[in-house]
Structure 1
């Protein structure tokens, strides 16, 4: 996917400008920024529902501004914030609608279509909703059904506007793990997210959309190391410190990075290379978990320090901790 000098807005009024972005296959791009800044405008420009004021959007060799909707639907699926109200349709019926671009003139589903529908519902953990009327399920279940519909299209590009809307914390993490799985299979994902911790943890790069219409493309670690969230959301010092506490569990200080707080009084505290270290483990939710596999001690500074941790403090292990936490909160059977 390539965005080349994209200028977008409504009725010739520019909302975002000069958006340049080359997205590799399987990459997850998160879009973050204040409300009204233009996140949805960029997504609508990508999926072709909003005509560009300038520039171009390419899906491989397909120019979105010149392509027919059916051509786009065969390679891209979309999850919007608009709530659909299907009449007399079960949740499976709604998910099945994702296969319409590939059906014949009578809308008949083939065996491979049903296989894609089954997989999508399994990925979103809504198989038990198959025969339940879409109108009768909760808002969170409706959102998971709509995401399953998008997955059922078997897209090469998946564009999502606030996909975690209406979801509780468990299903938000499960969704992000599902998106990571799809990205590993080569699906390119572009999504706007309000949960900064999810955007920073799961996205390969972030598109920062500012109120004045300009954008920046940065890696998550660059966003944190350069302190970009403060300006992006126009935060005062107290607000910014609270945001940092919610993300890395400690007050922000000069030199603090996303994964490693070099200003911590106990740093360095573990025999792990700094380039692979994750300070989030110092706030590990598994300290009181009987079978975490390791042990810990209290330091004279009142800090819990892991010993013989079953999840050594490498960045890539944090998802395993999250999985273990889910098991702790909701019982066994939570899959990777």
Structure 2
């Protein structure tokens, strides 16, 4: 699929951290998930957050999106505590694709995508041509132009996920936060969606994604944040981070790490636990 992103005006930046967590204690449902947590998201990067289930990946992402507020410390966006901004100001700077979303009954694709323009609407500034253009670009980029009049309820799971991505794209934020975006999709749709995110990144979007698939994370992200038990174990480029030692230490997985034959990025190959003579 070819994605037309000519409507984007993003340009990759020099790597300054527009978004960061500083010495934060983050709780979820009265349970402390992370303490003294500090993370920087460099501008213009594609960052994947990886780690075992329940290690705090999604909690960190929700804090970056201001869905959760640290009880200690702060999340800083463009030099200010993110809690000091009005909601619409935050929504013009960053957008969140949550793990699961429910569309209103009877809503059409174009109408749902148009809701991404809500941060730009007010009593005195209603729908404009720039809003129409943003929706059109988002539909085109996600391959949904021909489905724009269809009911969201009638679409396949992969198509529905692309509708939510299009709504996020129409929001037109420089930072996109993605919480397990490929969950419940078959493998073909997973890679189609990851290629779409790579297109966005190539056009200047800063992307932060919680991912379970280590090989997808290594293939598409240029920065990894590895978490365990609410802490950041390490971070850096995939080639430096994805090692057999780290996989065993963080995931309890004995494996080989070999170059992906297509992309030459690190690829994790689990060893056979039934064969003690397995290499490694």
Q: Which has the larger radius of gyration?
A: 1
| Correspondence 1:84 to 2:119 | no
Q: Distance in 2 between matches of 1:125 and 1:93?
A: 16
Q: Which runs of 4+ in 1 moved over 3 A?
A: none
Partner residue in 1 for 2:122: 104
Using structure 1 for the length normalisation, give the TM-score.
0.68
| Correspondence 1:125 to 2:143 | yes
Aligned pair count reads 246
Q: Distance in 2 between matches of 1:64 and 1:109?
A: 27
Partner residue in 1 for 2:173: 155
**Mapping 1:320-331, distance limit 5 Å:** none
Asked whether the equivalents of residues 44 and 204 of structure 2 are also in contact (C-alpha less than 8 Å), the reply is yes
Deviations 1:41-93 (A, max 9, x none): 11111111111122211121242122221111111111001321312210111
Q: Distance in 2 between matches of 1:203 and 1:7?
A: 26
Change (3 A) 1:28 1:12: same
Q: Which runs of 5 or more structure 2 residues have no equivalent in the other structure? A: 1-18, 266-280
Deviation of the 1:38 alpha carbon: 1.0
- Out of 69, 94, 108, the residue aligned to residue 112 of structure 2 is 94
CA RMSD of aligned residues (A): 2.1
Partner residue in 1 for 2:3: none
| Correspondence 1:5 to 2:28 | no
- Out of 179, 200, 213, the residue aligned to residue 230 of structure 2 is 213
**Secondary structure of the corresponding residue to residue 47 of structure 2:** strand
Deviation of the 1:169 alpha carbon: 2.4
Change (3 A) 1:86 1:107: farther
Q: Which runs of 5 or more structure 1 residues have no equivalent in the other structure? A: 242-251, 260-279, 285-313, 317-336
- Out of 53, 65, 75, the residue aligned to residue 83 of structure 2 is 65
**Secondary structure of the corresponding residue to residue 22 of structure 1:** strand
Asked whether the equivalents of residues 20 and 64 of structure 2 are also in contact (C-alpha less than 8 Å), the reply is no
Q: Distance in 2 between matches of 1:51 and 1:157?
A: 19
| Correspondence 1:225 to 2:254 | no
**Secondary structure of the corresponding residue to residue 21 of structure 1:** strand
Deviation of the 1:191 alpha carbon: 0.8
Asked whether the equivalents of residues 100 and 107 of structure 1 are also in contact (C-alpha less than 8 Å), the reply is no
Deviation of the 1:151 alpha carbon: 0.8
Deviation of the 1:154 alpha carbon: 0.7
Q: Distance in 2 between matches of 1:135 and 1:91?
A: 9
Q: Which has the higher contact order (CA 8 A, sep 6+)?
A: 2
Using structure 2 for the length normalisation, give the TM-score.
0.81
Deviations 1:81-138 (A, max 9, x none): 1321312210111111001111232884211111111111222112222011111212
Q: Distance in 2 between matches of 1:25 and 1:61?
A: 13
Moved more, 173-182 or 123-132: 173-182
